[in-house]
Structure 1
Amino acid sequence: MAGRLMAGRLTGAGAAGVAAVATAAAAVVVGQRHRRRPDEGAGSPREALTRWQAVTVLADPNDVYSGGHKPPFLADLGEDVEVEVRAAAGDKGTELRARLRQPASSKKSADEAAKTIRMALRRAKQVIEAGEVLRVDPTPHGERKATPTGAVVDRATAHADEEGLL
């Protein structure tokens, strides 16, 4: 026997073998437990077609969605978009959420709808908090010189509504 039994314990190669078998068995159990079908859960095609988009607005929920009227820009999307308003966690304002009522027919149309909803949410947040949609253009001092940094700023400004953070 490669290992010895001393005081109720395995030592040497026997202990290492038992540990290796236990680790492999745990990995199999964990791997099976966390495995999902491809059509369910976060990141799945089905979930992506109906995912909620959300922003936190620094305002009271009654100021965000009052009198049954959808917030600005979200109202422009019509009845295809479902809107929810609730108090944000930690008393940090209001969570404004929106998603398509019906799943989009394809991944491409779902991506376009998500982009449109994100833009509407950002603009609604700006109007509710600042009273207007904030714009960098036109620059208040006239034309900007053609510089590498200016080109980066112009490109970022042109695509600011699309996705992500600047």
Structure 2
Amino acid sequence: MTHRKTLWTAAAGLTAGAVIAWQRSAARGHGPVTDERWLTVTVNIAPGEIQPGKLPSPLQEYGDRIETRITPAPGDRGTELAVRLKEPQPAITHSVPARLAGQDPRQDLRRALRDAKALLEVGEVLEPDAPPTTHDSPGGKLVGLLSRRAGGEGVL
């Protein structure tokens, strides 16, 4: 009985989240985006240790297609590394369906930014164990489904 209740609760939460995401994407409209949002991470290193011309390899691969902004993080807590695509993208590519289908051009940039953060802080990109060392529970299967749908970028 508890297993069934857990599944219903998860399904209700997933449905509510999908409705909210759909409403937000519909409210944005479908015209061209003129003010691209910056994708930002806080890196736990001093601001002077990151040079715009010497970014980690995942970001160097973008070359002149991205803009980069490097600023001290608030409260002396490292450095904020921000990037965005120079070429504005249509708003439809930023919608939830486009992200679920893996067609949002910012997904690869998000992944590259996350990998660059790992390289700057740790020196390597850490990956989870494959195959996992645990058995899947119903909740774990739901989390696995959502993780696969997140396109590997850590965001659904």
Q: TM-score, normalised by structure 2?
A: 0.61
1:149 aligns with 2:139: yes
Equivalent position of 1:100 in the other structure: 85
Alignment partners' CA distance in 1, 2:33 and 2:75? 27
Equivalent position of 1:127 in the other structure: 119
1:70 aligns with 2:60: no
RMSD: 2.9
Equivalent position of 1:18 in the other structure: none
Alignment partners' CA distance in 1, 2:34 and 2:152? 20
Alignment partners' CA distance in 2, 1:58 and 1:160? 25
Alignment partners' CA distance in 1, 2:138 and 2:34? 37
Q: Percent identity, aligned pairs only?
A: 33
Query: 1:8-157, aligned counterparts within 5 Å?
Result: 50-65=36-51, 68-104=53-89, 106-109=90-93, 112-139=104-131, 141=133, 144-157=134-147
1:134-157 alpha-carbon deviations (Å, 9 max, x no partner): 22231574xx43421332343354
CA contact (8 A) 2:33 2:91 kept: no
Larger Rg: 1
Which has the bigger relative contact order, CA under 8 A and spacing at least 6? 2
Structure 1 alignment gaps of length 5 or more: 1-42
Q: Partner amino acid for 1:64?
A: I
Shift of 1:116: 2.1
Q: What is the aligned residue count?
A: 119
